[in-house]
Structure 1
Amino acid sequence: MIVETGHFALILALALACFNAVVPLWGVATRDSRLMGTAPSIALAGFGFVALSYAALTYAHITSDFSLLNVYENSASAKPLIYKITGVWGNHEGSMLLWVLILAVFAAAVALSARAMPQDLHAAVLAVQSWISAAFLLFILLTSDPFARIANPPIEGQDLNPLLQDPGLAIHPPLLYLGYVGLSITFAFAAGALICGRIDAVWARLVRPWTLIAWVFLTLGIAMGSYWAYYTLGWGGFWFWDPVENASLMPWLAATALLHSAAVMEKRDALKVWTIFLAILAFSLSLIGTFIVRSGVLTSVHSFANDPQRGEFILAILVFFIGGALLLFALRANTLKPGGFFAPISREGALVLNNLVLTTCCATVFVGTLYPLALESFTGEKISVGAPFFNATVVPLFLPLVLLMPIGQNLSWKRGDFFGAAQRLYFALLCGLAMLLVLASWHHNGPLTSILVSGLGVYVIVGAFAEIANRLFGRVALVKGGLAQVWQHAVGVPLSTYGTALAHAGIGVSLLGLAATGWGAEKILTMKPGDSANVGPYQLTLTRIGTAMGPNYTAKIGHVVIREGAREIGALDPAVRFYPTRQMSRAEAGIKTLNFGQIYVGVSDGVKPGTVDARIYWKPLVAFIWIGGLIMGFGGLVSLSDRRLRIGVAHRVRKLAAAPQAAE
């Protein structure tokens, strides 16, 4: 009965989404406040029904109800509870239900923020979000029903893909979806603004928090996905330029550009056309990523290769929303008046340059990802576009952007002084050069790229805080004001400034981790108990090979002792797990973090009995790659906590609304 309740809840959610997609827009067209006022309550009710449906599917997975096809194909009685819960979104149908749930969550959040925006814009945003929800609810009900029954239920299920039986599945997909789907709100704001004709600085301030929320989740989701692939797939890599990895990178690049463009629009009432276009583009790239993953056009460890019918349905959704939004954009573009002007050398000019580089990077990744798929579809010819292409095209674009990033932070609004901003970065430059010289003397035979990128990373980290340091110490001497006055200045700096500095510093930290991989070491060999191997500054010894039983697998485990000189500093237990239900094996890497570097050991069955094939890495400072991602996400959260973003919008809207009344 609970399962049927979940199914009918989806049908009711579809009916409410269709109502909310039409009635509030009719209210906007007729200026009927009662019709517009229905949008928030209907959005909240729709969220309730989708949440009920998702809870019903989760219950079926937890109780191992194999009368459901979805549970039978993706679960088993012996599977641990955490993987029964995470397995709900470890398949196509369940993940699409999670997609719709997050759509409903963001719609409910916007519904509860009614005081922060004009009623017509509020109703239009919720209506557009309802159009998106209705399309995906219809997709689920017609092609991807998670509540489909089996006439004769089996006793046992087929278990979950072993690659997905990992704690990373509990973190990575929800974070990534919150970012992916969260960009639907920026799309809804753009379409709503075009419908209502409210494209101004107030709109830019309204859309920034929602863009920032999606950007934070997308940043954390990509970082977590990178680490999950690193330790789960057994190959020791953190980024492969896989088409599905690129599908998450493209909307992140567009959302990053949108954040910077919206700042210019809010400050100068400029770049209106460009900002609206980026808001549409960011979610459009999310839809394209969904099509890539679920259409069956490629096979990847990340993707759900499904029947063409699903791909055609998603393609129709993609064409409808992207085409409709661009058509609306074209009809309204001529009505957008140019806003304030600014000098090329200014913070606004730096943000425009930032946008140009980010969108060029995005276009490069887009072409490199989709061109092989398009070529194969039209000609049948298969080509591979991998890491060499992207490293040769994207990296040369990205590194100059990173170099100029601290300078842009230190330029003044409207009109800046380039040389003055560069002078304020002399300490950052000295720190970067010092790092470069130290590494050049220490690793004089090492890779030149790693040395240069390390110096650039230090420069970015220090330069990220140069603006704050200038605010604290530039106008007052410590001997006069003392620490008390510096503290007063520190308290007066907006949280968004601290958040920006942290986000930029996170990029520098990740650069250090990426650069240090050039000094790593790798060995691939066959080992038996008693064998040792030297990797980097450490010696690894395989002491024994054993077996273990898990709840739904058997494991072959190698116990490896790590020594530095004569001192034992740790041990690892890499394993190969075999899942009999799926008849699949999965490598369980052993990882030891030492001074932010990691020893990575992956094993597989050896050709000779009593041996294992081992893949051993020493990766210095590799943890900085993901620590940098966490710092970037934390910087976004700090910016989001800025009081101006939380209440400044409502205050400004009320102030603008009160002005005509006072004039009357």
Structure 2
Amino acid sequence: MFPEFGQFSLILAWVFSLLLAVMPLAGVVLKKQALQQTATALSWAVFFFLAVAFAILLHAFYHDDFSVAVVAANSNSALPWYYKLSASWGNHEGSMLLWVLLLSTWTVAVALFARTLTVELKGSVLGVLGIIAFCFLSFVLFTSNPFERILPMVPADGSDLNPLLQDIGLILHPPTLYMGYVGFSVAFAFAVGALITGRFDASWVRWSRPWTNTAWAFLTIGIALGSWWAYYELGWGGWWFWDPVENASFMPWLIGTALIHSQAVTEKRNLFKSWSVLLAIFAFSFSLLGTFLVRSGVLTSVHAFAADPERGMFILLILGFTIGGSLLLYAFNAAKIKTSGSFELVSRESFLLMNNILLVVIAFAVLFGTLLPLLADAFSWRKLSVGAPFFNSVFNFLMVFLLSLLGIGQLLRWKKHNKKGWRITLLIMLVSAVVIALILPWTLSGKLYWQVWLGMALVFWVVASLVNMVIERTRNSRSFIAGIRKAGVGFWGMWLAHLGLVVSTTGVVLVSNFDIEKDYRVEEGDSVQLNNYRFDVDRFQIIQGPNYVADRGVVSIYRDDKKVAEVNPEKRYYSVQGNVMTEAGIDGSLLRDLYVSMAEPLDDSRKVWSVRLQVKPFVSWLWWGAALMALGSIVSITDRRYRLKTSSASVEKTL
């Protein structure tokens, strides 16, 4: 009976989402405050019934209810309990239910914490979120029902979860990524709410900024977790493949980054209002586009959940409705969006504008490369494959300009920068960056490539700028600590996020150019030298896992005859589906990773193997940088300005 209760809860959530989509917005149009005030209660109702439905789905997976189709197709009685629970979103139907549940969580959070909103704007925002929830609940109910039964012939056991997903990455990555995807719906709803109510003062941006930053932080961590998961799970040692689904998460991140900066200008200077509205629309639209790419089957990817044209068409209709409707609303109201104030070429606004243009250009370049094979197929052109060379060349070229502008822009003042001596400061920064970029890589490796020099010069250019910012902020204070406090958490959040970008860029530059990898034929007792490390193959053994059998290698790693690590690469065999998976053995540290993966056995005794050995310098900096960026975004929203319980008028007065 439990699955039927889950189905009933879904239907009730669908009904209440329809009411949430209609009643508050009808109240805004009719100027009926009583209808506007229903938004909060309806938001809680949608959340409650979705939470009940998802809890029932978890119950079905945990208790091996193979009468439920998604449980039978994606679980097995031998699966560890934690993988059983994560398997609930390791499939199309369950992941979509999680998607809508997280949307309702964001909706309730807005209803609960946005108490300073006017009743009209709050009703508009929650009403827009209700429309999105209704659309996707319709999608779940009519095309992707997670409670569909297999009756009366219930299978004795399930088909098992894809071995690729039997990993902590499935537990952490999808929920975090979805929180970022769905979180941009709040920025979208605020933008559309402003268009509906005609409120284009800077206050709606101030209300929207904490939600945008939080969504961006979740998306940043989600993308980093996906990269880390692919790095150690796939056995290739790669951390980014420009896969269509990876691109689908990267594009809204780029637009969201531009949105954060645009909102900062709108709040502080009452400028870039149109930018803030359009970027909010496109950030969520790109999130929906990612959902379409993952679930429609139009593009092939190891990450894709489904290949169903009906589902793809449904999401495409939602995407068209969202983009088309919001842009049409923007077109009708564009003339009403007024800005006040001006800025000169040498000002922070000017450089933020140029950076935003570059971020948008990068996003659309990635979109072009991702969809070009699809367009070629649709128009019967010759088969096209757009791979890493295209994306790397375009992305790296534009990032040179982005980092160059960042190093200057964050030092400039608002409106007009007329501080004396700033050109001398820039010259000192430039010379220092160029010299350090020449000396440091040569000292560390004895090699120097122009790509490394250029990348590290840009890194040290931004680092010099960050150091200069701290000096400027603390120069006239009684003490360094007093200066730190005076700068404010908003400044330090921005500073940490930019430092995170520097750390990630350092990792990308160094691991891309100094990565060492080589394939070997080894047997027990062999020693192999790679760079400064000796890899001793102690033995190969067979072990029994909870639902697999594995060949495990025991490899000791030495440097200067001192043992630094022991790693255990595995080749796993999952009996239910007959899958084979590679589990790399990795010894990680702040400065390098030592990476060992087993390819294929070379004799019947399974004591001789083909293995891949890799030394990957600074690869962990990729993910530590992402963590710093997310931390900076979260720190920014702790600014007390976003906790002030003030009216719209008083907020506007403080600007």
TM-score, scaled to structure 1:
0.95
Please tell me whether the aligned partners of residues 516 and 621 of structure 1 are also in contact (alpha carbons under 8 angstroms). Answer: yes
Cα distance, 1:406–1:160 mapped onto 2, change above 3 Å: same
Match of 2:583 in 1: 588
- Residues 271 and 339, structure 1, Cα contact 8 Å, conserved in 2: no
Contact kept, 8 Å, 1:410 with 1:424, in 2: the verdict is no
How do 1:427-506 residues align onto structure 2 when only pairs under 5 Å count? 428-429=429-430, 432-439=433-440, 441-442=442-443, 443=445, 445-473=447-475, 475=476, 481=478, 485-506=479-500
Q: Structure 1 residue 334: deviation in Å? A: 1.6
Deviation at 1:380, TM superposition (A): 6.1
Are 2:524 and 1:522 equivalent residues in the alignment? no
Q: Spell out the pairing of 1:104-503 with structure 2 (5 A cutoff).
A: 104-151=104-151, 152-379=153-380, 381-417=382-418, 420-424=421-425, 428-429=429-430, 432-439=433-440, 441-442=442-443, 443=445, 445-473=447-475, 475=476, 481=478, 485-503=479-497
d(CA) in 1 for partners of 2:596, 2:419: 49
Tell me the distance in 2 between the aligned counterparts of 1:452 and 1:380: 38
Please state whether the residue corresponding to 2:156 is helix, strand or coil: coil
SS in 2 for 1:619: strand
The 2-side partners of 1:452 and 1:153 are apart by 62
1:350, distance to aligned residue in structure 2 (A): 1.2
Query: 1:532/1:656 Cα in 2 relative to 1: closer, same or farther (>3 Å)?
Result: closer
Residue deviations 1:338-396 (CA, integer Å, cap 9, x gap): 32211121111111011111011111111111111121123163211011001111111
Corresponding residue for residue 510 of structure 1:
504
Change (3 A) 1:73 1:418: farther
Tell me by how many angstroms 1:492 deviates.
1.6
Instruction: For structure 1, list consecutive stretches of 5 or more residues without a partner in the other structure.
Output: 660-664
2-structure distance, mates of 1:381, 1:4: 49
2:372/2:384 contact within 8 Å kept: no
Alpha-carbon contact 1:458-1:512 (below 8 Å) kept: no
- Aligned partner of 1:620: which letter? P
Contact 2:411 2:465 in 1 (8 A): no
CA distance in 1, matches of 2:228, 2:615: 16
Instruction: Give the total of aligned pairs.
Output: 649
In the TM superposition, residue 206 of structure 1 has moved relative to its aligned partner by 1.2
Match of residue 604 from structure 1 = 599
Distance, in Å, in 2 between the alignment partners of 1:617 and 1:544 is 19
**What is the rounded CA distance, in whole Å, between the counterparts of 2:95 and 2:467 in structure 1?**
40
Q: How has the CA–CA distance of structure 1 residues 350 and 657 changed in structure 2, closer, same or farther, with 3 Å as cutoff?
A: closer
Alpha-carbon distance between aligned partners in 2 of 1:420 and 1:353, rounded to the nearest angstrom: 23
| Distance in 1 separating the partners of 2:149 and 2:545 | 30
> AA paired with 1:198?
R
- Alignment check: 8 A CA contact 1:3 1:60 kept: yes
2:527: which partner in 1? 532
Kept after mapping to 2: 8 A contact 1:526/1:606: no
Tell me the alpha carbon deviations over residues 398-447 of structure 1, each in whole angstroms, 9 at most, x when there is no partner. 12211221321111111114874454456754653343132354345442
Report the counterpart of residue 623 of structure 1 in structure 2.
620
Aligned letter for 1:206?
A: W
1:18-57 C-alpha deviation (Å, 9 max, x unpaired): 0111111111011111110000111011111111111110
Deviation at 1:275, TM superposition (A): 1.3
- Are 1:575 and 1:589, in contact at CA under 8 Å, matched by a contact in 2? yes
Aligned-partner SS, 1:542: strand
Q: Secondary structure at the match of 2:13?
A: helix
Q: 1: CA distance between counterparts of 2:500 and 2:424?
A: 23
1:662: which partner in 2? none
Distance 2:653 2:524 in 1: 80
TM normalised by structure 2 equals 0.96
Q: CA separation in 1, counterparts of 2:254 and 2:422? A: 26
Aligned twin of 1:643: 640
Aligned partner letter, 1:459: W
Q: Write the distance in 2 (CA, Å) between the matches of 1:264 and 1:561.
A: 54
Of 516-525 and 7-16, more deviation after overlay is shown by 516-525
Q: Deviations over 1:520-573 (max 9, x none)?
A: 211112211122222221011211111100110000011111011211111111
What is the one-letter code of the residue matched to 1:538?
Answer: Y
Distance 1:381 1:327 in 2: 36
Residue 570 (str. 1) matches residue 571 (str. 2)? no
SS of 2:115 mapped into structure 1: helix
The change in CA–CA distance for 1:425 and 1:369 in structure 2 (over 3 A counts) is same
Distance in 2 between residues matched to 1:535 and 1:454, nearest whole Å: 25
Q: Look up the equivalent residue of 2:526 and give its one-letter code.
A: D
Worse-matched range after superposition: 92-101 or 297-306: 297-306
- Note the C-alpha offset of 1:652: 5.1
For the aligned residue pairs, the C-alpha RMSD in angstroms reads: 1.8
Judging changes above 3 Å, is the alpha-carbon distance between structure 1 residues 622 and 487 closer, same or farther for their aligned structure 2 residues? same
8 Å contact kept, 1:447–1:519 = no
Bigger shift: residues 231-240 or 402-411: 402-411
Alpha carbons of structure 1 residues 494 and 624: separation in structure 2 relative to 1, 3 Å: same
Which residues of structure 2 form unaligned runs of 5+? none
